[in-house]
Structure 1
């Protein structure tokens, strides 16, 4: 298992975290008992960070039920405050903070999360969206600081609304937050240009999400792969013709098995290569896949020259939110 220090503290967290969006049904239907067991399984394997959100359906409740059964050391628990923007959209374009997170809502949403998770304190509470225009309305930060003072949360963070990682640079430099979460993977490595080094310099935790590009980088996708209507990926992979996506995946197969035993392993090794990545979130609601992902942490990292080749020549920048919400 690999660990890193969270936000300049002495607190060690695993470099792979349990991304709990899959517990809410957005990545396919599973029995509740299976999902609870998946959380316990990953904890048993040594993972000590769980990232969930108010917007992830039943995810918080199921994490809470799993934690009631867990007899080991309490994991580092992260959640996110759900936006109240009308219609639940607003991911791809700037929205007023007063509409996304009106005064009083941050406390109310946090209290709901505490009840659903059945805990007294959440280690990291994040805004589920963030735009730099919000910095001139610091009431949202004041509310979170008050919750921190009351012992209901320990750290404050933001989750960026899409791949535009540079919008967080002023916030990282300001010292206002402890963590930033955003998209980072083989296809979209741009956070390495500025955001990750800025986070390192300012003792801000960098949390990578979508490291498998919603599973596409694992190589599971075929021309005939079908998704349930409730599955988040139903339209994701057809942002462009699916054959184009698969062609990009096939280009990565040249690195397997010499540098990774699978495409999924290659994706994880790529994201964890830079020491500025505090933790990388991956769906672990299927124990078999969780085992494979966790096993990567005991293997040799990508050689520098291989990492550089992938970084330079295999990027494929796409903003899924362009077509999903615009």
Structure 2
């Protein structure tokens, strides 16, 4: 396993992280013990970074149970503050894909309440990294939310402060990165959408801000699983995610990546993981690994040789496909 230093500390975290969104059953229905075993397997294989959120259903609870069974060094735990749903007078998904006032999304006291609930669910005394689950630049001039986070840090309930970019627009976070007020940014980075590598990641490097890459497999699409007749069960958000445009377009884009298999990766998933981790400014890359076999495959991928620079550049320039599925699919509701 490869490791990198977190922000301006000496703490080393695995460059492949355990994304715990899948522990809430959004992708598949697994029993608790299966998912806990996948967490323990990943830790045993050298992964020491886990990313979860208050909004991920029972994810924190299951991680807490896994930590009780884990006998090794405690992993780096990152979670996210649960935002408050704006009143119905605001547009659908305000605060996520449309701006909303911070006093509406994170009213006074809500951040503390969310963090303290996370601590109970995880059954730990301090969370290594707390991130706002969404953020908008106009919040910079209003300090209440940051003061609440700083107070929690001074109390020892959290160790580091971060922000998750709400969708595919990494430029939203640049002013906050340069402010010196945060330690970490979480953003979408994958073969189709590498735009964060253009500016956000280099600027984070300059300011010693850690970068968590998410959606590195584009919700599974970059594994090649999607077919014209693929169906999704009720409750799986991917029922709409891949159909913002005709599905055939997405499949065609994925098919074009197969020219790099097996010369530079044994699978499309491996190619996608190696692509994101090619940039040294990516501190860790997370993907859902609630299934033990998924975890094993992903861990194997990071143990392979890195992509040649010219192949990375080809993927970076010629296969980027900038679109905001997360925002566009909301208009299908």
1:30-179 alignment runs, 5 A limit: 30-86=30-86, 89-90=93-94, 91-179=96-184
Write out aligned runs for 1:277-296 (5 A).
277-296=282-301
CA deviations 1:143-177 (Å, max 9, x no partner) are 10110010000000000111110111111111000
* Bigger shift: residues 125-134 or 223-232: 223-232
CA distance in 2, matches of 1:8, 1:303: 29
Pairing partner for 1:208 from 213, 231, 237: 213
C-alpha separation between the residues in 2 aligned to 1:325 and 1:108?
28
Q: Residue 157 of structure 1 contacts residue 180 of structure 1 at CA under 8 Å; is this kept in 2?
A: yes
CA contact (8 A) 1:52 1:59 kept: yes
Residue equivalent to 2:278:
273
CA distance in 2, matches of 1:66, 1:219: 31
Structure 1 residue matching 2:161: 3-state secondary structure: strand
CA-atom RMSD in angstroms: 1.0
Point out where structure 1 has 5 or more consecutive residues left out of the alignment. none
Structure 2 counterpart of 1:229: 234
Contact 1:3/1:12, CA 8 A, preserved across alignment: yes
1:323 is aligned to 2:319 = no
Question: Which residue is 2:318 aligned to?
Answer: 313
CA contact (8 A) 2:167 2:327 kept: no
Q: Distance in 2 between matches of 1:51 and 1:89?
A: 23
In structure 2, C-alpha distance between the alignment counterparts of 1:65 and 1:145, rounded to whole Å: 28
Q: TM-score, normalised by structure 2?
A: 0.96
- Could you say what secondary structure the match of 2:242 adopts? helix
SS of the equivalent of 2:186 reads: strand
Tell me by how many angstroms 1:30 deviates.
1.1
Question: CA shift at 1:45, angstroms?
Answer: 1.0
- 1:290-312 superposed Cα distances (whole Å, 9 cap, x missing partner): 11111122211111111111111
Q: Output the CA distance in 2 between the equivalents of 1:46 and 1:232.
A: 30
Q: Is the 8 A contact 2:241 2:326 kept in 1?
A: no
Structure 2: stretches of 5+ with no match in the other structure: none
Instruction: State the shift of 1:324 in Å.
Output: 2.9
Is the contact made by 1:189 and 1:315 (CA closer than 8 Å) also made in structure 2?
yes
Residue number among 197, 201, 209 corresponding to 1:196 in the alignment: 201
